[in-house]
A and B are shown apart, each in its own frame.
Chain A
Amino acid sequence: MEQARTEHLVRLLSTCQEKIYRYVFTLLPNEQDARDVVQETCVALCRKFDDYDDSKPFLPWAYRFAYLEVLKHRQQKQRRSGILLSDDVVELLAKQRDEQSEMLEARLRALEDCLRKLPPADCELIRGRYHARTPIGQLAQQAAMSQRTLFRNLERVRRVLFDCITGRLSAEGL
């Protein structure tokens, strides 16, 4: 691949890698699996980048690869464990996600503001869960609560964030 072409791909991936991860995660809601699939998707994109038409948006093109990699990963994983969303559900989700992509982007823009509004304890919880990636058991110990309670609290904080985002978007008329 040419140097300029490589740099172009690097820029695109740097910009879109997180979006690809989110896309994959919605179809394959397991962090480790999603990261593996993103990695495979990047490899596939590198391999096929010569076929990419610069005049068209990169993300839809990349999502197609991601979707195929998700299916491939599902086939491989189904041989090891059967706990995955069904094929038809994945297909429905992928389709609906394409339709709601703009709305989802808007919600994420609102997420930062909503995070700032969280009480310190909830911020600490989110930081421990996502930023520090503290294991659930350890996080429960640190917070002096049971895992069950920890899950409930995480659920509650997410709902708060969810409602906050929904409210902000409603206020903006979206």
Chain B
Amino acid sequence: MDAQLRRRVERLVSALCDGALDAAGQRELEHLLRESAQCRSVYLQYVDMHARLSAHPNLSSGIPFEHAAAPSNADGHDDGETKLKDSAADDAIVLELARASLGRLTEDARRCDRGRRFAVWGRWLSLGLLLLIGVVVWQFYLHWERGRFPIVREVVGAATFEIAGVSAPVRIGHRLQRGERLRTDDEFGRAVLQYNNGTEIVVCFDSQVEIPRGESDVHLRLVSGTMEVDAAPQPPDRPMVFATDHARYVVLGTRFRLYRETEATRLELGEGKVRLEREVDGQTLDVAAGYVAVASSETTPLQVQPLASARSKLRATLKKAGEAVAFSARGDVLATADWQRGLRTWRSDETDSEHPLAAVAGKIGRSDGFVYTDSKLVHINDGKEGAVTCWRPEDKQFTVIPLAGESPRSRALSPDGRFAAESDNAGTHLYALDPKLGRCLPLADLPNRGKAWCLSLSRSAKYVAAGYWDGTVLVHRTTADSETDDEPSVESVFETRLAHTPIIIALAEDGRRMAVYSRKDGLLLVDLTTGERRLLWAAGSAGVTCVKFAADGERMLAGLGDGTARMWSVADGEALLVIDVGQAPRDIAWSEEQSLFVTASGKVNLWECVLP
């Protein structure tokens, strides 16, 4: 080995032994040791010698150290190690001391070991506890988060959900997520949502709800249409919050309906209490059970109004009785029409749904009008090949009177069952019905404005109301009931224009008032003598499925897509009655004498009412 290199290694190692090796020297030494076995050999010899001197400074039995047996420490005290060597002659003592020392060492080691084990176990335990707490917190958060979103419990008709522009049919059991929007499309469709806390929400037909993304406290936003909420009792600090564009609704366990109308949002409270917070100005209003509050974008003071002054109670349910209903003149007999099963009559005070007074079986088609007058039932269907079915309950068979129209758009019966009308491409035709002969006599044609989308006749067909696709509503007065053989005259007496195509039209029996409904105009009550309009039900929320006037013309009835049936006072438009049917009624009837309200939606419900 090169002497110079060896000296260099010695110098570096010497500095290392004295603790005087700098970083550069260390790097150099490392390099030399890594590269050369000879350098490593010198290092080992040198360091080993140093270690020997360090570990055993008194190996000096023969070394000319002046103070070889003197106290070793600078402060003059002898240490255990020196004493051990000084008395090294006595092996027994050395052994005993070493054993004691080792015993302490072992005990220390054990203690240290136990401490370490405890520390390790403690560390693992802490980690496990942290994990457990994390899992519990995460589960709690998931439960809480999932509880904030409802699952789809029931779907009737068509319903879809949309998220990020993608839509798919809603399945039962699907849990809505943030940003997801649910839409009910079908005319009689609906979806029932359920939260973990038991709260149920019925999304009525043609409605949209969404789980808002940016509003952490809002559970559900009603975008359009109607929803009915049956909220479970809520904790005061974490109430459910629903919202529309107009207001937020803070719920503390209640039943209510929310209608997102075109210009405003209507809240109808069945039970409990809801705090309404209007979006436009933050004004709040506590709404109690049985009251209505309407919030719009205007800043007029919020007010509550009574929901209805009358009360109702379900008396009986006639299962699978039909979709059309009518009372006899005195109201003691109820007639029902089922398009597949035929016609039946029932006692009004009857609660036995199995035994009708009389019945005749046969397919009669879906109803476009149904009356019970002069002891006979008259039914007009809405099929392509129109027909009027007449039946006296004492007869075993019904009489079918075919109508002449081709692919008519609408049909109607007069309240006395003597006249019928239908509208097709050729115009609107008025017929007189002759059940005895089983035929209809064409009486007159209205001026041709194309197909009428809806028709209505007053008693004796004195007035004929027709609504057209462009929103026009025409009322004609006829002389169909005249005794003369002359062709009846037809005279236009009223014309108005709606914002949208009228879907349903109904004339009072005396022909003085008319109710008309379109999707954009809502349900309007029109005085035909003055032309005055009164809005009874705003557009944009629940659709109207059927409208009728009471026989005396003082009250108006309607069935709504949100599953309610309603009654208004014709004189002032006051809401008299709201009945929660549960399904959208397809037909309704009212008996003043019996104070009975009847709704038909497959099953027929009889409601006892107490009017003010």
Residues of A within 8 A of B (CB): 1, 6-7, 9-11, 13-14, 18, 21-22, 25-26, 29-31, 34, 39, 42-43, 46-47, 83, 85-86, 88-89, 92-93, 96-97, 100, 104, 107-108, 111-112, 115-116, 118, 120, 123-124, 126-127, 129-134, 136, 138, 151, 154-155, 158-159, 161-162, 165
* A10-B98, A93-B44, A131-B72 known; A83+B66 contact, CB < 8 A: no
> B50 to chain A: which residues have CB within 8 Å?
25, 158
Are B49 and A14 touching (Cβ within 8 A)? no
Say yes or no: A112 contacts B98, CB within 8 Å: no
Which A residues touch B66, using CB under 8 A? 124, 127
Whether A97 contacts B44 by the Cβ 8 Å rule is yes
Contacts of B109 in A (CB 8 A): 43, 46-47
Q: Mark B65-86, 1 if CB is under 8 A from A, else 0.
A: 1111000111000000000000
Interface status of B280 (Cβ within 8 A of chain A): no
Distance of B209 from chain A, by nearest CB (Å): 58
Closest 3 CB pairs of A and B: A25-B51, A131-B57, A43-B109
Instruction: Evaluate contact between A107 and B112: CB separation under 8 angstroms.
Output: no
Q: Contact between A151 and B53 (Cβ–Cβ < 8 Å)? A: no
A-B contact pairs, 11 of them (CB 8 A): A25-B47, A43-B112, A46-B109, A47-B113, A89-B30, A108-B52, A124-B66, A151-B14, A151-B15, A158-B50, A162-B49
Q: Mark B1-31, 1 if CB is under 8 A from A, else 0.
A: 0000001001100111111100100100010
Question: Complex: how many Å from CA A118 to CA B464?
Answer: 141
Q: Tell whether, in the assembled complex, residue A120 and residue B34 are in contact, meaning their CB atoms are under 8 Å apart.
A: no
User: A-facing mask of B35-69, CB < 8 A → 1, else 0?
Assistant: 00100110111111111111111111011111110
Question: In the complex, are the beta carbons of B54 and A123 less than 8 A apart?
Answer: no
Q: Are A13 and B55 in contact (CB under 8 A)?
A: no
Please measure, in the bound complex, the distance between the C-alpha atom of A1 and the C-alpha atom of B107, giving whole angstroms. 12
Besides A130-B57, A131-B65, A159-B14, 19 other CB < 8 A contacts? A6-B102, A6-B103, A13-B102, A22-B52, A25-B55, A88-B34, A89-B33, A111-B53, A112-B63, A118-B64, A127-B57, A131-B58, A133-B73, A134-B74, A151-B14, A155-B11, A158-B10, A159-B7, A162-B49
B489 at the interface (CB under 8 A from A): no
Chain A residues with CB under 8 Å of B54's CB are 25, 31, 130
Would A151 and B18 be within 8 Å (CB), given that A115-B60, A131-B57, A131-B68 are in contact? yes
For residue B95, CB closer than 8 A to chain A, the reply is yes
Chain B CB within 10 Å, residue with most, of A124, A136, A151: A151
Is B44 a contact partner of A127 (Cβ separation < 8 A)? no
- Majority secondary structure of chain A interface residues (helix, strand, loop or mixed): helix
Query: Is B64 in contact with A116, judged by CB distance below 8 angstroms?
Result: yes
Complex interface: chain B residues within 8 A of A151 (CB): 14-15, 18, 20
Which residue among B46, B54, B73, B95 has the maximum number of chain A CB atoms within 10 Å of its CB? B54
**Hey, what's the 0/1 contact readout for B103-130 against A, CB within 8 Å counting as 1?**
1011011001100000000000000000
B49:A159 contact, CB within 8 angstroms: no
Pair A158/B46 contact, Cβ less than 8 Å: yes
- Choose from A6, A85, A123, A155 the contact partner of B33 (Cβ within 8 Å): A85
- Give the complex CA separation of A111 and B59 in angstroms: 10
On chain B, the residues within 8 Å of A29 by CB distance are: 16-17, 47
Chain A residues lying within 8 Å of B67, measured Cβ to Cβ, are 127, 131-132
Q: Is B99 an interface residue (CB 8 A)?
A: yes
Nearest B residue to A18 by beta-carbon distance? B55
Q: Which of B30, B73, B103 contacts A86 (CB 8 A)?
A: B30
Query: Considering only CB atoms, which chain B residue lies closest to A165 in the complex?
Result: B49
8 Å CB contact of B53 from A26, A86, A126: A126
Query: Taking the nearest CB of chain A, how far is it from the CB of B145, in angstroms?
Result: 41
Given contacts A13-B98, A46-B105, contact A136 B49 (CB under 8 A): no
In the complex, the answer to whether B95 meets A100 with C-beta atoms within 8 Å is no
Taking CB atoms, residues of chain B closer than 8 Å to A108 are: 48-49, 52
Chain B, residue nearest A39 (CB):
B105
Give Cα A14 to B43, complex, Å. Answer: 26
B95 touches A22 (CB 8 A): no
Question: Contacts A131-B68, A158-B14 known; A46 to B52 CB distance under 8 Å?
Answer: no
Tell which of B7, B34, B108 has the most Cβ of chain A within 10 Å: B34
The closest CB in chain B to the CB of A105 belongs to: B48
CB of B360 closer than 8 Å to a CB of A: no
Q: How does the 8 Å CB contact mask read for B186-212 relative to A, with 1 for contact and 0 for none? A: 000000000000000000000000000
Answer whether residue B304 sits at the interface, using C-beta atoms and an 8 A cutoff.
Answer: no
Beta-carbon nearest neighbor of A86 in chain B: B30
Inter-chain contacts of A46 with B (CB < 8 A): 102, 105-106, 109
**Contact indicator A133/B43 (Cβ below 8 Å):** no
Please determine whether A127 and B51 come into contact, CB atoms closer than 8 angstroms: no
Complex Cα distance, B11 from A158, in Å, reads: 10
Known interface pairs A123-B65, A158-B49. Does A93 touch B33 (Cβ–Cβ under 8 Å)? yes
Q: Which one of A9, A83, A97, A127 has the greatest number of beta carbons of chain B within 10 Å?
A: A127
Any chain A CB within 8 A of the CB of B94?
yes
Q: With CB as the reference atom, state the residue of chain A lying closest to B58.
A: A131
Contact with A along B368-399 (1 / 0, CB 8 A): 00000000000000000000000000000000
Task: State A107–B489 Cα separation when bound (angstroms).
Answer: 143
What residues of chain B lie closer than 8 Å to A130, measured between beta carbons?
53-54, 57
Chain B contacts for A120, CB-based, 8 A: 64
Chain A CB count within 10 A is highest, among B23, B55, B68, B73, for: B55
